């Protein structure tokens, strides 16, 4: 089952300013955002959606204005050019892992189910969680846990993994969790979530893919076009926030003698929009969502 789209009305309100325009939904999933976008378009409007998950293809929408592209959104520019599209009016990206992927136990995304260590959003790729856990060097593992899971004791956890796999391969989510059964119970859920997040981000190159998307979306947007991004943890949101602010992911832009720099976007809202209590009550997975919208300047 796919989740109810997060911040549905607000995200599409921000996105669609021209009913005759061309729009992109980078994360099709169950098709909730796409359906809402199509409801705002005229007969001349066009929507292209991306999803690398084969399961998402089952949800395709029968509408002549709609095209579903079975690719990772990191290929946004090239894929759209194959359809003769060089400029668009708006790009929407909902970066969360879909409820469907969490709920399909055999995919290995959830800490709640015992499953093979997989975590691939694209089941055709070679790198999976089992390979990361069993083959990465200890230092590399520690870096991943620290950078992507924001785990302070990353070196200790990486050492535990490496020491255990010397005796026996770590093959399932339960195998992985059992290594850390010594962690106090009141901390376990949080630590497990951080570990799984870190591995999932590495397996799917999530942060690099987001960077690639944001840069390409800026190039493809018409002046006045809108980029709407929904993030679910601080690592994603930080990339979006910085890119919308100054077109960069790290460092500071070059400034003139007056301290001004060339902005790439105007922010529609100065602060991120978050779900209200009613939406969180209906969809608990929306609680960490943050929506930011930028309007391309030139």
Annotation-wise, does 94 bind a ligand? yes
Annotation-wise, does 62 bind a ligand? no
CB proximity list for 81: less than 8 A, separation 6 or greater: none
CA nearest neighbour of 156 among 147, 166, 148, 145: 145
Ramachandran angles phi, psi of 193, nearest 5°: -60, -40
Neighbour order of strands in the sheet with 265-267:
66-69, 46-50, 22-25, 88-94, 221-231, 290-296, 265-267
CA 13 to chain centre: 20
CB proximity list for 97: less than 8 A, separation 6 or greater: 109, 121, 200
Annotation-wise, does 32 bind a ligand? yes
Find the DSSP H helices in 107-257: 129-135, 138-149, 154-167, 173-178, 185-204, 206-220, 234-246
Strand 290-296, strand 221-231: pairing: antiparallel
CB proximity list for 30: less than 8 A, separation 6 or greater: 2, 3, 5, 56, 59, 98, 100
Ramachandran angles phi, psi of 224, nearest 5°: 90, -10
β-pair partners for 227: 91, 294
Distance CA 142, CA 283 (A): 33
Work out the angle at residue 49's Cα, subtended by the Cα atoms of residues 54 and 279, and round it to the nearest 5 degrees: 90
Annotation-wise, does 33 bind a ligand? yes
* Binding-site residues for S-adenosyl-L-methionine: 31-33, 51, 73, 94, 101
In the annotated binding site, the residues are 31-33, 51, 73, 94, 101
């Amino acid at each position: 089952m796919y989740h109810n789209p997060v911040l549905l009305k607000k995200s599409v309100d921000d996105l669609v300013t021209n009913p005759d325009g061309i729009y992109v939904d980078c994360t099709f999933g169950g098709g909730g955002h796409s359906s809402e976008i199509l409801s705002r378009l005229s007969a001349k409007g066009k929507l292209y959606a991306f999803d690398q998950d084969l399961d998402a293809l089952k949800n395709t929408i029968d509408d002549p204005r709609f095209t579903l592209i079975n690719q990772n959104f990191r290929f946004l520019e090239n894929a759209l050019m194959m359809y003769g599209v060089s400029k668009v009016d708006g790009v929407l990206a909902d970066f969360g892992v879909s409820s469907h992927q969490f709920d399909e136990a055999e995919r290995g995304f959830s800490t709640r189910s015992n499953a093979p260590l997989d975590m691939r959003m694209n089941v055709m790729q070679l790198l999976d969680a089992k390979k990361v856990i069993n083959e990465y060097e200890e230092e590399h593992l520690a870096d991943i846990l620290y950078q992507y899971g924001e785990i302070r004791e990353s070196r200790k956890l990486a050492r535990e993994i490496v020491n255990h796999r010397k005796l026996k391969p770590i093959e399932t989510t339960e195998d992985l969790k059992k290594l850390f059964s010594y962690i106090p119970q009141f901390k376990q859920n949080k630590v497990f979530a951080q570990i799984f997040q870190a591995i999932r981000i590495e397996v799917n190159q999530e942060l690099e893919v987001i960077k690639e998307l944001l840069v390409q979306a800026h190039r493809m947007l018409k002046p006045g076009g809108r980029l709407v991004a929904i993030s679910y943890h601080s690592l994603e949101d930080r990339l979006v926030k910085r890119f919308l602010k100054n077109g960069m992911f790290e460092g500071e832009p070059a400034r003139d003698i007056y301290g001004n720099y060339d902005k790439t976007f105007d922010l529609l809202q100065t602060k991120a929009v978050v779900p209200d209590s009613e939406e969180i009550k209906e969809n608990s997975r929306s609680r960490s969502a943050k929506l930011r919208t930028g309007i391309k300047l030139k």
